[in-house]
Every structure is written in C-alpha cells, then in structure tokens.
Amino acid sequence: MPLIEWNDSLKLGVAVVDRQHQRLIEIINRLYDATMEGRGADVIGEIMDELIVYTATHFSMEEKYFAQFHYADAEEHKQEHDALIEKVTAFVDAFEQAPAASRAALAKELLQFLQIWWRYHMMDTDSKFVALFKQKGLT
C-alpha cells in the first residue's frame, strides 16, 4: 500500500499541476517504501534530496503562473510553499545529523507530516487557483 494513493479525488483538473502533484506523491511513496523496508540512510537521504528539489520546481511553476495571471492570493500561497520547504529542509538536516538508531523515526515523522500537509495543500490551498488557471486557458 502506498502512503498516499493517487486517485481522481486528488486531481484539480489542470493537467500541468496534476502531473507534477502525481510525481510528488510518487516520490513521497518511494520515500515511504524505502523507510518501511529499512533502507540505508544514503538511499533515504537521496530520495529526500530529490523530494526537496522537485518540490521547489513544482512551487516555482505554480508561482510563475500566479505572477502571470495576477493571482490575488499569491502572497499567502507562497508563504505556505516557503514554510514547507523550510520545514522539510530542517527535517532532512536533522535526519542527516541524527544517530543511525533514530533516523527511521525521523523519516516516519516527516512522512506523516507530508501526508497531512499535501492533502490539505492540494485539496484546499491549491484548489483556490483552479478557476483562475482555467479561465486563463490552462486545461
């Protein structure tokens, strides 16, 4: 079982956003599998780094459209993005510096946080820009 199951209920109806959300969920699920399988810190750390890089790429894409479409809630939305990057980066730093015995617990804590954060962010925060994006021609 994946940690987060990608299905139609998570789709917002804007293809570029949905595609990137799906890829983010895939990375999170890979991190979950590696953690549950007890993989080494090198493998888990690599997936964490990939997650941070891809999350930043995804947020930049959304924010580019916020600017282009003059999205009214851009500032508030960007604050959520920045806070997430900051929090995940702090988690990954802590993971890398933690003694081996406590790393799995840290990874699980991060995953639990990501599971809740992403569901809320996609279903609530992101859903607010959908009408505007569609109106501007993104399908």
List residues binding Fe ion (CB under 5 A): 62, 126
Which C-beta is closer to Fe ion: that of 72 or that of 105?
Answer: 72
Residue 63 beta carbon to Fe ion: minimum distance, rounded to whole angstroms: 8
103 Cα distance to chain centroid: 20
Residue 131 beta carbon to Fe ion: minimum distance, rounded to whole angstroms: 15
32-56 burial code (b ≥16 CB/10 A, e <16): bebbeeebeeeebbebbeebbeebe
Which C-beta is closer to Fe ion: that of 62 or that of 106?
Answer: 62
Which C-beta is closer to Fe ion: that of 62 or that of 110?
Answer: 62
User: Could you count the other beta carbons within 10 Å of the beta carbon of residue 111?
Assistant: 19
Residue 37 beta carbon to Fe ion: minimum distance, rounded to whole angstroms: 30
Which C-beta is closer to Fe ion: that of 43 or that of 74?
Answer: 74
User: Could you count the other beta carbons within 10 Å of the beta carbon of residue 59?
Assistant: 18
Residue 29 beta carbon to Fe ion: minimum distance, rounded to whole angstroms: 19
The answer to whether 62 and 129 have CB atoms below 8 angstroms apart is yes
